[in-house]
Structure 1
Amino acid sequence: MRILVLCTGNSCRSQMAHGFLQSFDNTLEVCSAGTHPAGQVNPQAVATMQEIGIDISRHTPKDVKQYLNQEWDYVITVCGNAKETCPNFVGKVKHRVHIGLDDPSEVAGTSDFVTNEFRRVRNQIQERFHDFYLNIRSDKHEEI
């Protein structure tokens, strides 16, 4: 099964979702990309995932354009901007799903507050993507 997780910068939420999906099932082919990819994965996202034993430190932001001609079972957007600006795929996309999530990289405040927001969003990603994974494994194709 081929899954593409799409966000704007491909530096935080989509990278965490990518890491979770791979941790749920190593037979899934998971990629993530951005409509306007950042220069690197957000270091706080890397650290927050490392806390729970998932290593995304080798991930790099990628441009969605490199995936447009490929076939996907699922293209999942995790932010409203990516959902609205998602380009047309020339390849076949069986299912498009939107799982909207807050962007912890936009949070301002004390170091503790920012860290807690990353953890909160990480936990939300884990829960929502695990629900998604269970649904696709039981052959349900409903939006989460």
Structure 2
Amino acid sequence: MKVLILCTGNSCRSQMAHGFLQSFDPNLTVCSAGTEASGKLNEKAVAAMKEAGIDISHHTSDSVEKYLDEEWDYVITVCGGANESCPAFTGKVKHRLHIGFDDPSHATGTDEFIWSEFLRVRDEIRAGFWKFYNENIKSI
């Protein structure tokens, strides 16, 4: 089972989703990419995942171009921008889904509020991908 998770920058939400989905089932092939990959991970996303017991610090921020020629069971977008600009994987994707989340890297305010947004979105991603996993993959 191969799953590609797409976001715009591939630095935060897609990386967290990648980490959670891989933690649910190590036998899955999970990759994440960005339609406009930033080339680096968001430090707060890495810290939020570490707090949840998942190390994503070794992940890389890759362009979706890297994966266009591969076949995927699922391509899942996690932000509106990636959903709108998702490239065509003509005939190579069995299922294309959108599971959207707010971008915590756009939060403004106190350090405490910004951190709370990362934790909120992280927990929403965990719940959303746990639901996806249970409904679409676990029973296979």
Q: TM-score range by the shorter chain?
A: over 0.9
Shift of 1:91: 5.6
Which runs of at least 4 in structure 1 moved beyond 4 Å after TM superposition? none
Gap runs ≥5 in structure 2: none
* TM superposition score normalised by structure 1: 0.94
Shift of 1:39: 2.6
Shift of 1:26: 0.1
Structure 2 counterparts to residues 1-144 of structure 1, below 5 A: 1-90=1-90, 92-136=92-136, 137-138=138-139
The answer (yes or no) to whether the contact 2:39–2:62 under 8 Å persists in 1 is no
Distance in 2 (CA, whole Å) between partners of 1:54 and 1:90 is 33
The answer (yes or no) to whether the contact 2:4–2:33 under 8 Å persists in 1 is yes
Shift of 1:60: 1.2
Distance in 2 (CA, whole Å) between partners of 1:25 and 1:92 is 23
Identity of paired residues, percent? 63
Give the root-mean-square deviation of aligned CA atoms.
Answer: 0.9
* SS of corresponding position for 2:5: strand
Aligned CA distance change for structure 1 residues 104 and 95 (closer, same or farther; 3 Å):
same
* TM superposition score normalised by structure 2: 0.97
Residues paired across the two proteins, number: 139
C-alpha distance after superposition, 1:41-64 (max 9, x if no partner) = 000000000001100001110000
